[in-house]
Amino acid sequence: MTRGGPSMATPAYRVGIVSLSNGFAAKTRWRGRVYYGRREGGGLTYRLSGGIAVRPAPRWSLSVDPNYLRHVDHQQYVTELAGGPVATYSRRYVFATVDQSTWLAQIRFNYTIKAGPHGRSLRRALRRERPVLRSRRAAGAAGPGAPNLRHGREHDHA
């Protein structure tokens, strides 16, 4: 199969994946993964990825997930030229090799917020704010032709 351009036969692709990790409930979690794929015609892809996540306190967590990807494809479509055989619709197709390496890391810091005194949920706190937001709409903030709303109910414009 080509990357872009004309359709061709799809070569066989072989893939192997190995993953390791510790338990989900651990205070410090880790994981690792190796992916390797090879295609007939010489294309290959491999990825090394992993991660570590630390939860030093119930509300705090930090995670780092590094990732390396290597991809080689010898059938990247580039363009086509006139003058090819009838079997390829009188076109000659030009291909190139893609040799790509990518490093990336996702770094994440989380803090869980408990809203309000006495453990009130954030949803309850936001629910109390809705009439205030709707009263703005009733004052004409929604634009001409919008229904006149007061505390979430539609009223006559008179």
Average pLDDT (80-104) is 90
Indicate if 106 and 137 belong to the same structural domain.
no
Q: Which domain holds residue 131?
A: 120-155
Indicate if 96 and 135 belong to the same structural domain.
no
Q: What distances in angstroms separate CA 119 from CA 1, 129, 130, one per listed residue?
A: 58, 18, 20
- Other beta carbons less than 10 A from residue 51's beta carbon: 18
**Residue 150 reports pLDDT greater than 60:** no
- Domains contained in the chain, number: 2
**Residue 134 reports pLDDT greater than 50:** no
Six-digit token string for 141 = 């903030």
**Residue 38 reports pLDDT greater than 50:** yes
Look at residue 6 and tell me if it is in a domain: no
What pTM, to 2 d.p., does this model score? 0.58
Indicate if 101 and 132 belong to the same structural domain.
no
Output DSSP code: residue 140: I
Indicate if 150 and 105 belong to the same structural domain.
no
Indicate if 59 and 100 belong to the same structural domain.
yes
Look at residue 7 and tell me if it is in a domain: no
Helices within the chain (DSSP H only): 122-136
